[in-house]
Each structure stands twice: as structure tokens, then as C-alpha cells.
Amino acid sequence: MIAENLHSVLDTLPKEVRLVAVSKFHPVSSLQQAYDAGQRIFGESHVQELVEKEALLPKDIEWHFIGHLQTNKVKYLAPFVSLIHAVDSLKLLREINRQAERCQRTIPCLLQIHIAQEETKFGLTPDELRQLLEAGEWRELTHVQIAGLMCMATNTDDEGQIDSEFALAAEIFREMKTAFFSDDAAFCELSMGMSGDYLIALRHGSTLVRVGSMIFGERDYTTHKQT
């Protein structure tokens, strides 16, 4: 089932778009099935769960951290994480830089923008994002590479609303690219779209879609503790 689900999602993606298989709360055996079907990028949103899975699964997996990251947990991910999707403060960026330096790595990061109407979602408002980039300290953080932006749309059935939120994210991405990264080819990723809305995200230029339940089925929140 997982292999079939994976391929039916992959069939809908333009070849330049990468799929992050969001495997949080799913057992290692499910990830192994997706791996055996060819998937190499996996996304997790809890640090301890990610660290445990990384130890058990093949080493050529690209692990993406997609959840809200606390500064005191960066050190556990720094040795191996491939991309941190949801950086929403300079403080967090500084800590990623510090831990990456200790590991003699440069860690690619995406800045999370808050575009959804829900108040509970994390992320920088467009103004906060502009201010962070204008302040310029990030340029001195040589062990992090700002590789683009990430966002989540409002959890709603209103496709028009989702569409306008992704359109806004794409506009902000272009604005930031022009203003701060015009000579930086590494700033190229727009991480948006989940199982319920990734087809809409693709229309607005998403380069990374984060799809979980369409591949692995519903999550069973009773099998893992939140970490």
C-alpha cells in the first residue's frame, strides 16, 4: 500500500518538485517500505522520534525537520539533519549556526512565514521576515544557509482561501529573493503543501511538498509520545 500511495503522489509532481515523505508517528517499518520503493527524503516533526529513526534506517536518507524546533534540541539534529524547514526566529538561527559549526557543517534552513489565519501557527509575519533579513546579522552566520521559505496554509475546506495564502507566500518569496538573495542561487526552495492542499501549492510554485497521510495513512497519536 505505502509503495502504491507513494507512487500515486509522485505521479502528480512535476519533476523539479521534491517530495518530503512526512513519516511522523509512523513506525520504522513503514518508512522502510517507502525507502524500498525509492523514497529518500523523510520529514519528521519531533526531535527524539527523528533521532531514534535515523539510527535505525539507511544512512543515505535525507532527514528534514519540519516541526517547531526548540533551541535546546538543535544539538541533537545538527550532526545529520539535511534541512530545517521551520526556522522562525534569529535566536533559533543563531543556535543552529553554533551547533552546525561544532559539527563542522553548514545546515540549510528555511524561514517559516505565517500566512494562515489561524493564530496558533508558528512563523514570522511578512514584516518580521523583512526586518530579520534587513537587520543583516544572518549574513554573519556562516554555518547556516538560508535556502528559502516554508509555510502552512489555514486548515480549511475553503480552497479559495488556501489558494490566496499560497499566492501570498509565493509573492513574498519572490520579493525576498529580489531584495536579499538575487545573487544567491541557494535561496531557491519554497516548502508548501501537505496531503490536503499540495496540488494548490504546486500551482504557486512550491518546490518541496510535505505529504504524510496520503502516503502512510492516518497517524496513530497514541503510539508515540510527543517529544
Ligand X SMILES: *Cc1c(COP(=O)(O)O)cnc(C)c1O
Binding positions for ligand X, rule: CB under 6 A = 22, 24, 45, 66-67, 152, 194-196, 210-214
User: Using CA atoms, how far apart are residues 195 and 155, in angstroms rounded to an integer?
Assistant: 11
Q: Least distance in Å: CB of 13 to ligand X? A: 14
Q: Least distance in Å: CB of 131 to ligand X? A: 24
Nearest C-alpha neighbor of 111 from the set 123, 122, 121, 98: 123
The type of residue at 136 is G
Q: Least distance in Å: CB of 136 to ligand X? A: 28
Q: Least distance in Å: CB of 149 to ligand X? A: 13
E-only strand ranges, 141-216: 144-151, 189-191, 208-211
**Based on CB atoms, which residue is closest to ligand X, 96 or 208?**
208
The dihedrals phi and psi of 207, each to the nearest 5 degrees, come to -110, -15
**Based on CB atoms, which residue is closest to ligand X, 148 or 180?**
148
**Based on CB atoms, which residue is closest to ligand X, 42 or 180?**
42
Q: Least distance in Å: CB of 183 to ligand X? A: 30
| Chain residue whose CB lies nearest ligand X | 212
User: Using CA atoms, how far apart are residues 47 and 29, in angstroms rounded to an integer?
Assistant: 19
**Based on CB atoms, which residue is closest to ligand X, 45 or 97?**
45
**Based on CB atoms, which residue is closest to ligand X, 172 or 194?**
194
User: Using CA atoms, how far apart are residues 224 and 29, in angstroms rounded to an integer?
Assistant: 15
**Based on CB atoms, which residue is closest to ligand X, 74 or 194?**
194
> How many other CB atoms are there within 10 angstroms of residue 151's CB atom?
29
**Based on CB atoms, which residue is closest to ligand X, 25 or 180?**
25
CB 141 within 8 A of CB 76: no
Angstrom CA distances, 191 to 4, 114, 205, stand at: 24, 13, 9
Residue 180 Cα to chain centre, angstroms: 21
Q: Least distance in Å: CB of 92 to ligand X? A: 15
User: Using CA atoms, how far apart are residues 85 and 96, in angstroms rounded to an integer?
Assistant: 12
What is residue 179's three-state secondary structure? helix
Q: Least distance in Å: CB of 201 to ligand X? A: 11
